Structure 1
C-alpha cells in the first residue's frame, strides 16, 4: 500500500511506530495498567450489564446471540463491511445495526453513555491482540479517502493531521507529547475530558483545534479516517479502553 510506505518513510520504518501509551509518563501508564485505577473500567462494567440486558421489541440481549468469548478480536477488525451493506461501519455503527435490526430497539445516540459503555466492553475483549484490518478490497478506496483527509490541509490554520502526527510526532505541544495517531486504545478515557470518548470525538477535537468545521457524527468521513488509521496501525497491540492525558 502506498500510504503505508509513505508513513513508514516519514517515521523511519514500521518498527518505529509508537502508541500513545508509550508516549505517556509512568504515572498514567500505571493508571491504565491497573484495572482498579483505570477509570475506563467503570464504563466496561456498565457495558457488560447492557450486554446482558434485554431490549427492544424482540426482547433480546446481545448475550442471547453472541456466546461468551465470541467477541474476542472483533474491535481490532473494524471498520468493516457488514452483510447487505454498501458502506463500511465502525464498531459503534455495528453495535447500532445489531440494536436496530436484531433487538428492534432505537439506535443509541452518538457519544451516548450506552454506546460508549458497550464499545468499551467490546474493546476490552481485544486487549492485547494485534490490530487486524480486514483484507477486503472494498476498503481500499475508503482507506485512500481517509489518507487524503489525513493529509489534506483544512481550517483557518491551514493544517493537516499529518502536520502534527507525522511531521512533528514525538515533539511537545502544550506540555504533552504529540502522538503518531495510532488508534490502539479507543474508546479512551481522556483526563482532559474527564470521561470516556470515541475516536470520532478525538478527530472532531482536532478539527476544531485547526479551526475547521467538524463533520457530523454520522459522517462517512470519520469511518474513512478510522479505516486509514487502523490500516497503518496494523499489527500494533490493542490497549483499549485506554487512558490518555
Structure 2
C-alpha cells in the first residue's frame, strides 16, 4: 500500500475520532482572572451591589451635578459639549488611559484637560472631591461593560513601560507589583487575601479610607508599603502603569462605583 492510499484511508478515521470523542477536542484556555470583588465578604459585596447601601453613590450624585454645572471663562458645562451622559459617555471609561493628541491621558487627566481647554477653568486637584465625583460619574456610565484597552501603535511604548514598572522591583523591600499580585495572588498577607490587582472598580469607596479614592492613590499606597519613592499624581509614569493594569484586565467588566475593604 503506497503512502497516499494509506493517508486517504486514515483521514476519515481521524475525523470520526476527533469529531465524536470530545476528549480529543481542544478546549479554550480558561480565564483565571478574578476581580477582588470575589474576595470580599457577602456583606461588602452587598454594599457594592445595593445602591441604597453603596456610599459611592453620594459621589455619583455630586458628579451628576458637576456634569451640568457651568464653569470657567467660557461659562459652559460638560453637558454643553457632550450632551446626555447616559448616552454619550457609555463605554468611554473602558478606553482610558488612551493617547490623546500625542499624550497618554488617564480619565482624570482628560477631565482636567477639558476643564482648562474647553471651559477655561482651573484643573481639579487630584483626589479632590470634585475630580473623584466627576470621574466616578463618568465611569459609572460604563458599568458592566468590558474594559477595552488594546495595544496600538500609539500606546505601544507606554504599555511596554507600564509592564516594566509592574515587573520591576522597587523600594527598600525590593518587591515588584508582579511578585504580590501575580506570583502570590490568592495567598495571605497580614491575614488578608492578596488580590490579582485588576483595577475594575475605580474610583472606589474604600472602607479603610472612609472615602472615595482613585487607582493612583491605591498605587501610591502600595509604593509606600514597599518603602519606594511614589510616582506623582498625574505623572506620565503613573499613567503608564495604569495603562498596563487596565490592559491586563482587558475584557473584564467595569464595576464602578466599587467598594473595597
Instruction: State the TM-score, normalizing by the size of structure 1.
Output: 0.92
1:71 to 83, 89, 94: 89
Query: 1:197 and 1:203 mapped to 2: Cα distance?
Result: 11
1:113 paired residue number: 129
Shift of 1:191: 0.7
* Aligned CA-pair RMSD: 1.1
Match status 1:182 vs 2:182? no
2:99 paired residue number: 81
Query: 1:80 and 1:167 mapped to 2: Cα distance?
Result: 28
Match status 1:217 vs 2:237? no
1:1-245 to 2 correspondences below 5 Å: 15-68=31-84, 69-82=87-100, 85-134=101-150, 136-245=152-261
Query: 1:219 and 1:211 mapped to 2: Cα distance?
Result: 19
Shift of 1:23: 1.4
Checking the alignment, whether the CA contact within 8 Å between 2:150 and 2:250 is kept in structure 1 is: no
Give CA deviations for 1:2-45 in whole Å, capped at 9, x if unaligned.
Answer: xxxxxxxxxxx661000111111111100000011101111000
Shift of 1:160: 0.5
Query: 1:244 and 1:91 mapped to 2: Cα distance?
Result: 20
Q: Secondary structure at the match of 1:15?
A: coil
Shift of 1:135: 5.2
Query: 1:95 and 1:172 mapped to 2: Cα distance?
Result: 37
Question: Radius of gyration: which is bigger?
Answer: 2
Shift of 1:110: 1.1
Query: Where in structure 1 do 4 or more consecutive aligned residues deviate above 6 Å?
Result: none
Structure 1 unaligned segments of length 5 or more: list them.
1-12
Checking the alignment, whether the CA contact within 8 Å between 1:170 and 1:178 is kept in structure 2 is: yes
Query: 2:222 and 2:97 mapped to 1: Cα distance?
Result: 20
Query: 2:119 and 2:99 mapped to 1: Cα distance?
Result: 20
Structure 2 unaligned segments of length 5 or more: list them.
1-28
Instruction: State the TM-score, normalizing by the size of structure 2.
Output: 0.86
Q: Tell me the number of residue pairs that the alignment of Structure 1 and Structure 2 aligns.
A: 231
Q: Greater relative contact order (Cα 8 A, min sep 6): structure 1 or 2?
A: 1
1:3 paired residue number: none
Shift of 1:67: 2.0
